[in-house]
């Protein structure tokens, strides 16, 4: 599913226009992004949590040349699925 398909699905589900659904999605994504940029966390109960993690600098090896190099420390976003989302997606017969 791409962004346009998600917007269409949101509009149909909520009974609103595609333009309003697109604005709602943009507002939600902007809010999540700004919170993560500030180092915060966004928790959507039953769905999951968005957050940031720090990765320290480390040595890596270029597989083509074999030369060692350093990768700088960085901050990366992550998503952790909630219990309800995991259970809904899990379609195995072992339940």
Give the tens place of pLDDT for each residue, 28-47. Answer: 999 999 999 999 999 999 99
Q: pTM of the prediction?
A: 0.78
61 & 21 share domain? no
Number of domains composing the chain: 2
Start-to-end CA distance of the chain, whole Å, equals 28
SS3 of residue 42 by DSSP: strand
Strands 74-81 and 48-55: antiparallel
Distances (CA, A) of 90 to 11, 74, 83, 95: 26, 33, 10, 9
What's the burial of 55, exposed, middle or buried (CB within 10 Å: 0-12/13-18/19+)?
A: exposed
On the question of pLDDT at 85 being above 80, the answer is yes
pLDDT over 80 at 94, yes or no:
no
d(CA 41, CA 52): 7
Residue 21 CB neighbour total at 10 angstroms: 19
pLDDT of residue 56: 96
- pLDDT tens digits for range 58-81: 999 999 999 999 999 999 999 999
Residues 30 and 48 in one domain: no
* Structural domain that includes position 83: 39-95
Say which CATH number the domain at 53 has: 4.10.520.10
Residues 44 and 21 in one domain: no
Same domain, 49 and 95: yes
Is residue 50 helix, strand or coil?
strand
């Amino acid at each position: 599913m791409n962004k346009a398909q998600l917007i269409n699905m949101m509009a149909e589900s909520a009974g609103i226009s595609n333009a309003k659904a697109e604005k709602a999605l943009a507002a939600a994504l902007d809010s999540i992004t700004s919170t993560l940029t500030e180092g915060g966390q966004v928790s959507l109960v039953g769905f999951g949590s968005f957050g940031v993690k720090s990765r320290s600098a480390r040595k890596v090896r270029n597989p083509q040349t074999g030369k060692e190099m350093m990768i700088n420390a960085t901050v990366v976003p992550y998503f952790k699925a909630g219990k309800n989302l995991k259970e809904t997606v899990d379609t195995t017969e072992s339940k």
